[in-house]
Amino acid sequence: MAARGAEAEALFEAHTAAELRAVERRLRAGIEQKREELRQMVGERYRDLIEAADTIAEMRLSAERLLGAVRGLQRGGAARPSPAAPVRGARGCGGAGGGPEPPSDPLFPPLQARPPAQESFYRAAAQLKLLLDVPEKVWDAVEAGRYLPAARLHLLGGHLRRQLQLDVPRASPVLARFPILLRQVAAASHLRSTILQESKSLLKSQTVSDQAVAEALCAVMLLEDSSPRQALADFLLARKLAIQQLLNQPHHGAGIKAQVCSLMELLTTTLYQAHALFYTMPEGMPPDPALPCGLLFSTLESTTGQHPAGRGGVLEDEVKLSSWFRYLPESVVEFQPALRTLAHPISQDYLRDTLQKWIAMCSDDIRAGVSNLLVYVKSMKGLAGIRDAVWELLTNESISQNWEAVCHRLLDKPVSFWEDLLQQLFLDRLETLTKEGFDSISSSSKQLLTLALQELEVKSGTSALSKHIQFEQNVALFLWSESSSDLPSDAAWVNVANRGQFTKSGLSMKAQALTPCVQSFCSTLDSKLKARLDDLLFYLPTDSSAAKEATPMAQPRSAFDCYADAGTVEGLLRDHCVACVHHVLGCVREELQSAQSLLGGQADAPSDARLNAVLFMARLCQSLTELCPHLKQCILGQSGSTEMALKETRSAKKLGKGKAQEVTPVQAKWQGVKAELLQQSLFAYQIWSSAVTKGLVQCFTHTLLLDTAGSVLATATNWDEIEIQEETESGNSVTSKIRLPVQPSWYVQCLLFSLCQEVNRVSGHTLPKVTLQELLRSCMAEVLAAYEKLMEEKQEKKAGTFPMTQNRALQLLYDLRYLSIILTAKSEETKTSRMKHDSGIEKVTDFLEGHIDPFDLDVFTPHLNSNLNRLVQRTSVLFGLLTGTENQYTSRSSALSSQELHNILPLASSQIRFGLLPLSMSSSRKSKSATRSTERVQVPPPALRRAEDEALRPGSLFRQLVTEEEDTATPSLFKLGWLSGMTK
């Protein structure tokens, strides 16, 4: 009340009088509405209430009448006279039986009070009482899972119905007086079907004991009156249905492992229980306590066998429960179920054939079902987990202890469900996963390649280009740029030998001209390959050598070898990885062919955008094997990658020593992949070299063929004035001056310098030697074609053309000879005929010399050769990318005077471009001694030349300074560990 008062006060405080009246109206309207609803509900439910009250009154009257009838029966039973002496005193529980006296029952007086005339009445009453109690006891046994006692009680009920003639309703006087028994007769068939259904359902379970399965089979045999062979068929059919049910369960991720393990457990348990139930030892063979057998026949014998008199049959446990039991006839008390035919043991041949057929029949279902389950396993780690779980299950001592003996007894051969059923399914799924994974890598690599090429085909003049694209367009800019990743962060204290195998510094990337775009592509591809490889490693042994050593020791206790298919798995990985590389190469090949057709169809100079894309693909194919180390592991396998790397380094050091090492098929496949990548890289470089040569020589040819006086003067360069001593006919010496060219024409210098710029722009020190030779060869061929065209035009002698003067012929001859020296490598001269003896050059040379006075030509030739030799020496470093290391120096000739030494570059055995580097004394002395030996020898022998070629390769200076071990007493800055890491 206090709370309500507080609420009312709060209302008066918060609202006005008008608002309070509105609240009052709403409350009164709600009260009236609830009253009306209550009236309607009472009116609707009143009739139901009256009917319920009438029913309760009728139930009370019926109960009173029933109680009165029961009291009348009790009074009538007490007034009956006592019966005579007992008929079955020997079996009675209260007489000579010696047992305790059962409680008295007014409906069933003691046998001493029963007259002989009424014995059949009490016997029928006891049988009726038992018949009414049988269904309840059957249901209790079924609910408790005791199907054999339930079947025996059901058969006892059938025996009682036959005793009381209840099977023929019209001829039975009992049914006329007890109509309720009709329901018992109708429910008998339902009881039988329930017991059979529950018993066969129990056969599907793999967790029940052998005794429970034996009792369930005995129940089925008794109810269906079947033979042991039919029981075997029922057992195997139930297990087949259990397999199908297990395979059709809903699967969710980790549940697949449990399903496969349950399937294997069901198969092994089925064979074990088939042995325990149906197998019988041959005659003369002692039973094996560790492997019991024949349980079905022993259980059937104990169920259908005859017991001694007085012990009872099916109702043995019910003897002391009721007083009316003593009135049951002997046929009911001693009832035992029996089969129509004898249960003969199953022969071993029939058992073996039946089990083999069952295994073959279930194998198809298992393969199809497990295949459908494995579709939901998306990783090889999941497959390995399922395989290991199956291995642990089958290797468990409870299963593997007697497995071989059971298989030998039942099937006369060993059985391995993993090898026969699951192994190939797992391999098929693994192959599918591997194929899907590498198909995904192939498609993503193609998309990545297309995206990179689209970015590279942007014109260089476009603004807002990213730094990576600029580096790709000009590799020299990338080489000489600084970044924080040039040296590893731990370069000062971690030795190169202790650094990770896949760790690459920025300087090493720049030394190999591996641009950021190439690094990004290879890094993305390598990370995906690593993910696939790491996933596959779960399916392979961690250490092959340890696995091989441990396998023989673990074989007797192991159900199967988990890693028996390791070679097959590595083969699948290898094949799909090679197919992935071929797919990427196919995409590169298509792009290169498209670029080749576009570049070949252009009449003017090729576009830089297309060439940038071609060069990117060339560098990509060239560096793919080095920047993708996991590609090598995928092809060579887990164990072969590190061993192969060691063999390659050792074979490189011992090249030419001993016999050639044998190459395994796996190594041959890896070498084939590297060869294909290199071939594709060379093809791309060939497209680039052809396009560059075409563009540069086109401008050269145009300038060369300009046939005007102005063009000749515009391209003229410096000529040198030389004094010569000539002897007249009278014997006097006359001094005269001659003028000879000492520099090539401007367009020749522009051609060579532009060619060097193009080579330097793509990082010429990393170009393959074959590409550089092809570039020089094609360039020389185009230049020679231009001179031949000039020769043809001059031979036609068209009107109005500028005549070929002696001075111009001298300049053209000087240019041609200089170009033939610069654009011809010495290594090529040793393999083929010298380029100066080439028919084309000879033809042009003869034409040009024909425009020079023969007497003057004899005088000019020695000085022309001297100027040419001096020019080559002066420009050897400027055009070093074209001439190569072998043409960058020429041994000093004794013909040169001391006054001319200042015009020639100082020569050394190795071209050191960085003169201020802190070199050690040992390398300086070695350089000086090498220089002196070079001065003494005009042409080095071929063996020495090969050594020099190796020593004079780009980067040889750093390798020399790092690997030099002589004169250790002299300190060298390059021997410090942190600085030597620059070259790694």
pLDDT digits (tens, 9 = 90+) for 285-310: 777 777 888 888 888 888 887 544 33
| Whether the predicted pLDDT of 172 surpasses 70 | no
| Whether the predicted pLDDT of 930 surpasses 50 | no
Stated pTM of the model: 0.68
Q: Pick 944 or 428 by higher pLDDT.
A: 428
**What is the spatial distance between Cα 296 and Cα 346, in angstroms, rounded to a whole number?**
11
| Whether the predicted pLDDT of 971 surpasses 60 | no
- Whether 345 and 113 have beta carbons less than 8 Å apart is answered as no
> According to the model, what pLDDT value does residue 941 have?
41
Percent of the chain beyond pLDDT 90? 10
**Side chain identity at residue 376, one-letter code:** Y
Q: 3-state class of 733 per DSSP?
A: strand
| Whether the predicted pLDDT of 948 surpasses 50 | no
Mean pLDDT (whole number) for 387-412: 86
| Whether the predicted pLDDT of 949 surpasses 50 | no
Predicted confidence band of residue 697 (pLDDT cuts 50, 70, 90): confident
- Whether 522 and 441 have beta carbons less than 8 Å apart is answered as no
**What is the spatial distance between Cα 687 and Cα 775, in angstroms, rounded to a whole number?**
10
> According to the model, what pLDDT value does residue 237 have?
93
pLDDT tens digits for range 223-282 = 888 888 998 999 999 999 999 988 887 765 558 888 899 999 999 999 998 988 888 888
Lookup: tokens for 669? 């496949």
Backbone angles phi, psi at 505, to 5 degrees: -85, 165
Mean pLDDT (whole number) for 713-719: 82
Q: Pick 13 or 556 by higher pLDDT.
A: 13
> According to the model, what pLDDT value does residue 250 have?
72
**What is the spatial distance between Cα 648 and Cα 625, in angstroms, rounded to a whole number?**
14
* DSSP 8-state assignment for residue 603: S
The mean of the pLDDT values for the chain is: 75
Query: What distance, in Å, lies between the first and last C-alpha atoms of the chain?
Result: 94
* DSSP 8-state assignment for residue 721: E
- Whether 422 and 390 have beta carbons less than 8 Å apart is answered as yes
pLDDT tens digits for range 53-98 = 889 999 999 999 999 888 888 887 676 554 443 434 333 333 333 3
Predicted confidence band of residue 837 (pLDDT cuts 50, 70, 90): very low
- Whether 403 and 269 have beta carbons less than 8 Å apart is answered as no
**Side chain identity at residue 300, one-letter code:** L
Q: Label each residue of 637-696 as H, E or C.
A: CCCHHHHHHHHHHHHHHCCCCCCCCCCCHHHHHHHHHHHHHHHHHHHHHHHHHHHHHHHH
> According to the model, what pLDDT value does residue 582 have?
92
| H or E, element range at 712 | helix 709-715
Predicted confidence band of residue 975 (pLDDT cuts 50, 70, 90): very low
- Whether 430 and 387 have beta carbons less than 8 Å apart is answered as no
Q: Pick 480 or 705 by higher pLDDT.
A: 705
| Whether the predicted pLDDT of 510 surpasses 70 | yes
Q: Where are the alpha helices (DSSP H) in 832-971?
A: 839-849, 854-874, 880-883, 921-936, 942-951, 956-963
- Whether 725 and 735 have beta carbons less than 8 Å apart is answered as yes
| Whether the predicted pLDDT of 960 surpasses 60 | no
pLDDT tens digits for range 660-676 = 567 788 888 899 998 99
| Whether the predicted pLDDT of 861 surpasses 80 | yes
* DSSP 8-state assignment for residue 323: G
Predicted confidence band of residue 146 (pLDDT cuts 50, 70, 90): confident
**What is the spatial distance between Cα 927 and Cα 948, in angstroms, rounded to a whole number?**
12
